[in-house]
A and B are shown apart, each in its own frame.
Chain A
Amino acid sequence: MELNIASVEIEPKRHTFGNVARRLGEDRPASRYEEAMYDAQPTENFHYRPQWEPEFEIYDKKRTKIKMNDWYDLLDPRKFHYMSYVSTRANQNAANEQSFDFIDKRGLVDFIKKENLQKVFDFLTPLRHYEYGANMNNLTIVDRVYGTAMMSASMFHAEDRLGMAQHITKIILLLSNNDVTKLDEGKEAWLDDSKWQGLRKAVEDSLVEKDPIRLFVKQNIVFDGFIIPLMINEFSKYMANHEEMVLPMLSEFITSWYEETAKWLNSVIKVMALESDENKELLSQWVKEDIEIMEKAMESLVSFSNNPKELIDLTKAELIERLNKCGLNL
């Protein structure tokens, strides 16, 4: 008996969803990112306006002063959709877990000098509340911005911020041998210690900002543009300078996360600024206003360093250079 195995090639009728194919201009297999993101948000047939804000549709481009011809131009260069986001963060967390285990196993915490340890408690713990504010602000952006491109990336960013708050909590608990009163003291410092009040006011004022892109600029571009370089990166450098390498190891996760995230932030600003001169003016104006707020708020906070003024000026100059590269006019 002769057996003939023949293969039949079945050409699929279409390679991706119709809405994605229209975006790509051809019917070709699309990436998961493109399929999960393009036009996922409804655009028409809203029967009712939201009762709490009847001047807007549920999804409304008019919630921000920034004008985009197409809100789906604001792509995420990291191409995060659920799976790529989760697996990227899981890998980073596994690497980070090793640092924690290493420090825990060898009891390295016992070798940290007392004054260094106290500085970490004083300057790092209250940042949990800053990160929680950043989480809420990004959820507001998700709530109010137009188009899935920004919505999904901001959602991932909001989750990141909750993660950062947890990460700081883990650092503090490791360093304090699970002494939870350290966390309470951090909250008290956030509420009452005079050096945190400038930042706390800035964060609390930002919580009522309604324009999603205004809030994006405020929180993600300017606030973080000061806090992460100064309170994480410079603080780590200060610790290293004072013979303390455990903290820089523990906070490396935040540093590298911010480097990665900046790619997305920069690209959003770049695309918006390129869209029109009005956008560019508006963004530049917003950044200027917020830089002024943060410059003042940071003065008392960078008091771990001997020359806070110099550090703040340096960070400001770096932020301005970065944003000018993205097309703003500062």
Chain B
Amino acid sequence: MSASIALLCLQATEDGRAIAEAIREDNEGVIITNKPAMIQIERAERITIKASTVSESLGRDWDPEELQLVLISLGGQIEETDDEFIVYWNN
């Protein structure tokens, strides 16, 4: 059976784009598709968002809880800490 796909859909805003850039940097093989007003992010098994990378791409301190402000939808289980937000499938 093929691997489950972890999914994130973000609003295509200034912050959303910066988060997508950070995800591209930290997640090898991630597929990022720009839809109208939305960024669709897909990767087998797991997507990791690192607060440090997003802070750098955004140019200011970014807290993983701010993800909620641009989050449209997600597919997978979630693990959230002060440093990371991870969407993954554990099956």
The residues of B that contact A10 with a CB separation of less than 8 Å are: 36
Docked CA distance A68–B17 (Å)? 30
Contacts of B58 in A (CB 8 A): 79
For chains A and B in complex, what number of residue pairs have CB atoms within 8 angstroms?
26
Tell whether, in the assembled complex, residue B59 and residue A80 are in contact, meaning their CB atoms are under 8 Å apart.
yes
- Mark interface residues in A103-140 (1 if CB within 8 Å of B CB, else 0): 00000000000000000000000000000000000000
Shortest distance in angstroms between A1's beta carbon and chain B's nearest beta carbon? 28
State whether A31 touches B60 (Cβ < 8 A): no
> Which bucket holds chain A's interface residue count?
10 to 19
Provide the B1-40 mask, 1 if CB < 8 A to any CB of A, else 0.
Answer: 0000000000010100110010000000000001110000
Residue interface mask B46-75, A partner, CB < 8 A = 1: 000000000010111000000000000000
Once the chains bind, are B34 and A76 in contact (CB under 8 Å)?
A: no
Question: Are A31 and B17 in touch, CB under 8 angstroms?
Answer: yes
Q: Distance in Å from the Cβ of B16 to the closest Cβ of chain A?
A: 10
Set of chain B residues within 8 Å of A29, measured between Cβ atoms: 12, 17, 34
Chain B residue total in the interface (Cβ 8 A): 12
Contact pattern, A 76-116, Cβ under 8 Å of B = 1, otherwise 0 = 11111000100010000000000000000000000000000
Nearest residue in B to A33 (C-beta to C-beta)? B59
Q: Which of A4-24 contact B (CB under 8 A)?
A: 9-10, 15
B36 x A84 contact (CB < 8 A): no
* Pair A15/B36 contact, Cβ less than 8 Å: no
Q: Which of A15, A31, A80, A88 contacts B14 (CB 8 A)?
A: A31
Please encode chain A, from 30 to 47, with 1 for each CB lying within 8 Å of some chain B CB and 0 for all others.
011100000000000000
- Specify which chain A residues have a CB less than 8 angstroms from the CB of B17 in the assembled complex: 29, 31
- Give the contacting residue for B59; candidates A9, A28, A78; CB below 8 A: A78
B77-88: CB near A (< 8 Å → 1, else 0) gives 000000000000
Contact B36 A78 (CB under 8 A): no
* A30: min CB distance to chain B, Å: 8
Known contacts A77-B59, A78-B60, A84-B59; decide if A31 and B34 are in contact (CB<8 Å): no
Residue of A nearest to B61 (CB): A260
3 nearest A-B pairs in the assembled complex, by CB-CB distance: A79-B59, A78-B59, A32-B14
Which B residues lie at the A interface, using CB under 8 A? 12, 14, 17-18, 21, 34-36, 56, 58-60
| Other A-B pairs beyond A9-B36, A31-B17, 9, CB < 8 Å | A29-B12, A31-B18, A31-B21, A32-B14, A33-B59, A78-B60, A79-B58, A84-B59, A84-B60
Which residues of A are in contact with B by a Cβ distance under 8 Å? 9-10, 15, 28-29, 31-33, 76-80, 84, 88
Between A and B, 22 residue pairs with Cβ closer than 8 Å are A9-B35, A9-B36, A15-B34, A28-B34, A29-B12, A29-B17, A29-B34, A31-B14, A31-B17, A31-B18, A31-B21, A32-B14, A33-B59, A76-B59, A77-B59, A78-B59, A78-B60, A80-B59, A84-B14, A84-B59, A84-B60, A88-B60
